[in-house]
Amino acid sequence: MGDFILAWGNYTWEMIYESALLLLFGFALAGLIRALITPNVLTSIFGQGRFKQIFTASLVGVPLPLCSCSVLPVATQLYRSGLSREGTVSFLISTPESGVDSIALSFRLLGPIFAVARPVAAFFTAICSGLVTWLFLPENRDPAPAIRPVQTDTESAGLGRRLWGGQVYVMTDMLPELAYYLFWGYLMAGLAAALIPTDLLQAGLAVWIQYLAVIAVGLPVYVCATSSTPLAAVFLSLGVQPGAVLAFLLVGPATNLTSLVVQKRVLGLKGTILMTTSIVVCAVICGVILDYTLGDSIRSSFTSFRGGETEGGLAWYDLLAALALSSIMIYFTARHYYRKIRKRFRH
C-alpha cells in the first residue's frame, strides 16, 4: 500500500512539475486576452452573414480561456445581442475545446503536434457544427443579423487599468474556478498512471473500443480543456491511439450534463442534439485523420510520464512554478470544501 501511494504521488508530482510553468504562463496570457478583447470588441467583430459569423465565432473562440460552463453566459449574451444560432453553436464549441492555457499545457504534456492539432480540430469541429445547425435548424431571424455591441464600464478604462483588471480576473475568478478541477485532474491522472498496468493496451485493444470508451467518459462528465490534459497524457502513455486521445480532448470540454441543460434553453432540444452529435462525429473524424497522418510521429516522440523521474534534474524555475501551482490548487480546493461544509452546517 505504501509503495502504491508513493507511486501515485510521484506520477502526480511529475506531471505538475512538467506542466506548471507553461500553465501559469497560459493563465497570465488569458488575463491579457481578457483585458484586450472586451465585450464590445467581441460583439463587434462578428459582422453580418451566416457563414461569416460561423467562421468568425469559431476562430475567436479558439484562444479564449473559457470552460464549457463559463462560456454559457458569454454565448447567451452574444445570442441575445444578435449573433445567429449557428454562430452561437460555433462559439459554444471552439471556446471550451481550446484556449491559450490548454494549448500551452498541451505543448508541455502532449508535445507540439498535439498543441497544434488541438486548436485546429476545435476550429474544424466548430465550423462543421455551425454549418449543420445552419442547414438543419433554421431560425426565425433576419438572414444576416447584425451584432449589437454590449457596452460595459470597463471598456472606458485605460489600457493599464484593463491589463491589471485582466490579471485580477485570472486570480479572483478564473483560477478559483479551475484550481479545484486542476487539483482533481492531476490526482486522477496520477492515480490512473499508478493503477493501470503499462501493458494493458499492448495486446491490441480494438481502436473503435478506445474511441467509444473516451467518448463515453467525456460526454457527460465535466472536464475543462486544461484539467483534461494530464489525463490525456496518461491515456497516451498507456498506448491509447493519439486520435482517441484527441477525441477525448474535444468531446470532454465541450459537453457535460450541466452545460447541455443550459444549451437547451438557448438552442432548443433539437439544436442541442444536433450540436452534441456534430461534436462527437467531428471529434472521431479529426482523431482518425490524426492517427493516419501523424499517429506514428506522436507515439515515437511522446515522453511517457510513467518513468517516475524528471529528465535533466530539477530546474529551479520549474520547481518554483510547480510549488506555486500546487499551493494555488490546494488553497482553492480547500476553500471550495470549506465553503460547502459551512453552507451545509448553516442549513
Rounded to a whole number of angstroms, the distance between the first and last alpha carbons of the chain is 39
Residue 256: Cβ-neighbour burial (10 angstroms; 0-12, 13-18, 19+):
buried
The whole-number pLDDT of residue 92 equals 85
Please indicate whether residue 249 or residue 253 has the higher confidence score (pLDDT).
249
CB-CB neighbours of 137 under 10 Å: 17
Torsion angle, alpha carbons of 228, 294, 100, 171, to 10: 30
**Which range of residues forms the domain containing residue 217?**
2-346
**What is the rounded average pLDDT of the residues 70-87?**
73
**What is the rounded average pLDDT of the residues 236-240?**
83
Q: How far apart are CA 55 and CA 46, in angstroms?
A: 9
The whole-number pLDDT of residue 43 equals 63
**At residue 42, does pLDDT exceed 80?**
no
**What is the rounded average pLDDT of the residues 132-160?**
61
- Residue 162, all three cell numbers: 484593463
**At residue 275, does pLDDT exceed 80?**
yes
Please indicate whether residue 231 or residue 78 has the higher confidence score (pLDDT).
231
The whole-number pLDDT of residue 227 equals 74
The whole-number pLDDT of residue 203 equals 52
**What is the rounded average pLDDT of the residues 213-232?**
78
Q: Name the most confidently modeled range: 36-50, 144-158, 240-254.
A: 240-254
**At residue 124, does pLDDT exceed 80?**
yes
Residue 336: Cβ-neighbour burial (10 angstroms; 0-12, 13-18, 19+):
middle
**At residue 323, does pLDDT exceed 80?**
yes
**At residue 234, does pLDDT exceed 90?**
no
Residue type, 229: T
As a whole-number percent, the residues of the chain with pLDDT over 90 amount to: 17
SS3 68: coil
Q: How far apart are CA 172 and CA 161, in angstroms?
A: 16
Confidence of residue 25 (pLDDT cuts 50, 70, 90): confident
Q: How far apart are CA 200 and CA 204, in angstroms?
A: 9
**What is the rounded average pLDDT of the residues 85-99?**
87
**At residue 149, does pLDDT exceed 60?**
no
Please indicate whether residue 259 or residue 92 has the higher confidence score (pLDDT).
92
Prediction pTM value: 0.72
**What is the rounded average pLDDT of the residues 77-94?**
81
**What is the rounded average pLDDT of the residues 173-202?**
72
Of the candidates 91, 99, 70, 94, which has an alpha carbon nearest to the alpha carbon of residue 174?
70
The whole-number pLDDT of residue 233 equals 86
The count of domains in the chain is 1
